[in-house]
Amino acid sequence: MTTPARHRPAVPLAAVLSLALLSACATPASMPVPTSSPAPAPAPAAWCSTLNAQALNLRSFGAPVRNTRAVPGVPGDHPLTLAGLTVPPANALYRSVQAGWALSHWEQAVSRLLPGCPAPVIAVIAGGFQDLPEIAANLTPPESWLDLHALRQGQADGDPAMSGTDRAVITSHGRATAGVIADPTGPQDGLPGYGYNLLRVLPISIPLRSTSLARAIEYAALGRTVVGDQVFVNPTPAQVINVSLATTVVDAAVQSALRQAREAGVIVVAASGNAGQPGVLYPASDPNVLAVGAYDESGDTTAYTSTGPELFALGYGRTYSRVPASAQAPEGYVTEDGTSFASPFVAAQVGLWLYSNSHYAGSMFAGYSGSDHLNFALRCLGSAGEATTSVRRGVGVIDASRLVASGNLACR
C-alpha cells in the first residue's frame, strides 16, 4: 500500500501564526507492512504500586505476550499483558523510522519501562486534528479536548469554515504531530508512538493567531482559560506542552502565558522553524521554552532547521501520515518532514523521563516544584545530550535511555 509522490499544498501564511511544516515533497513510504533542593522523596521503588494489580494481571488486558526485554526485576519469561508492547514494536512501518529513532536509543529506553505508573499528559496545540479515534487509547478523555474554533470542549476538529484542501493540510498536520507521541504501539499498520502507550496527549485546536495560542497554553498549563464570557476548565492539566507552530512575531499575550506555564511547572517544547537559516522562530525562541530542531537518519542537523543560540536540542524530523484512498491512488502512507515532528519527538522524551521518575522518586518531578521543573528538565536533558553544544545542534540528539536510567542522578 503505497501512494505516488505528491506535494503537500502550502499552508496559508495570511495568519499571524504559520505552521512550522516543511513544504518539500511528501514521498511514498516503503511499506514492509535545578536551582533549589527538592523536597524529600519516598524511598525508590522498582515499579509503581499499581503495576502488579493493573499491568501484570492476566485477566486485565487479555492475551499475554512473552517478555524478552530483560527488564530489571522482571523474569524474562514473565507474561506482559499489554499485548504488543514488545521491543522492537510490531507496527508495520516501524522499520521505516527505526534507524532515526535508534540514534536516541529509544528501544533501550522503553525496555526499562513497564505500564502501571501515572501517564504524563502532553498537550499538543495545532490548527486542528483529523482521525483522532485512531489514537483515542493514548489521548486524554474527550471532555478535556478543546476547540477554540468552535469555542467548545469535547472536540478538536479544526475550523469547519476553512476550504477543504486547506483544512485537510492543517488537520493532517495536527494528527501527524500528535501521532509522533500517541500512535498506538502494537501489531498494526502505521508507526508506533514514541510514547510507547505510556503517555497521553491532550489535543487543543486553535485558529492560527497569537491570542488563541495564549489561551491554549493557559488551558493546558493552568487548568482553565477564559474566552469572552466563556470559561473553559481543563480536567486533565498537562505536564508538557508541544507547540509545532511558528511565527516571526513576538506576542505579549503568548509571553505572559509561557511565563505562567513555567511558574506552574509545565515544560513547553516548540519547533524552531523550517526557515533553514539562523534565527529560531517564536515561540520556540522564548526563554521559557525548549526549542527543538530536526535531525535526519544520519544524525545530522537537517538543512531546513532554523538554528541559533536559543536552539536546545534535536529530534527526529521525519514521520509518516496515512493517506486515504482516492480516485487517483489507493490508501497508503507518505513521509512528512519538519521541525513540527521533531518537537513532539523531544516532548515525548520529556514525557518518558517524567514517567520513569514515578518509578524511582515517587513523583514525576521528583519533589521539585514550580519554575524549578524547567531547571530540572534542563539539567536532566542536558546530561543525556551530546558532549558539546552548538548553535546548530544545541545539546544535539538526546539519549532517551539515559533519561530513564535509575543511575542518572541528574534526572532524579
What are the structural domain ranges in the chain? 86-411
pLDDT at 25 over 80: no
Provide the pLDDT confidence category of residue 316 given band limits of 50, 70 and 90: very high
The reported pLDDT for the residue numbered 306 is 98
Contact yes or no for 25/5 (Cβ under 8 A) = yes
Which residues are CB-neighbours of 188 under 8 A, at least 6 positions away? 84, 90, 91, 92
- Distance CA(1)–CA(32), nearest Å, equals 9
> What confidence tens digit (pLDDT) does each residue in 340-356 have?
999 999 999 999 999 99
Provide the pLDDT confidence category of residue 326 given band limits of 50, 70 and 90: low
> What confidence tens digit (pLDDT) does each residue in 75-115 have?
343 334 343 467 889 899 999 999 999 999 999 999 888 77
Provide the pLDDT confidence category of residue 329 given band limits of 50, 70 and 90: low
Residue % of the chain over a pLDDT of 90: 64
Average pLDDT over the chain reads 82
Contacts of 218-223 with CB under 8 Å at 24 or more apart are 218/257, 218/260, 219/123, 219/146, 220/123, 220/125, 220/261, 220/266, 221/123, 221/257, 221/260, 221/261, 221/264, 221/266, 221/268, 222/260, 222/261, 222/264
Q: Kindly state the average pLDDT of the residues 377-390.
A: 97
Provide the pLDDT confidence category of residue 210 given band limits of 50, 70 and 90: confident
User: Tell me: domain 86-411, CATH 3.30.300.30, correct?
Assistant: no
Q: Kindly state the average pLDDT of the residues 7-21.
A: 37
Measure the CA angle with vertex 118, ends 371 and 72; round to 5°. 105
Q: Kindly state the average pLDDT of the residues 11-15.
A: 32
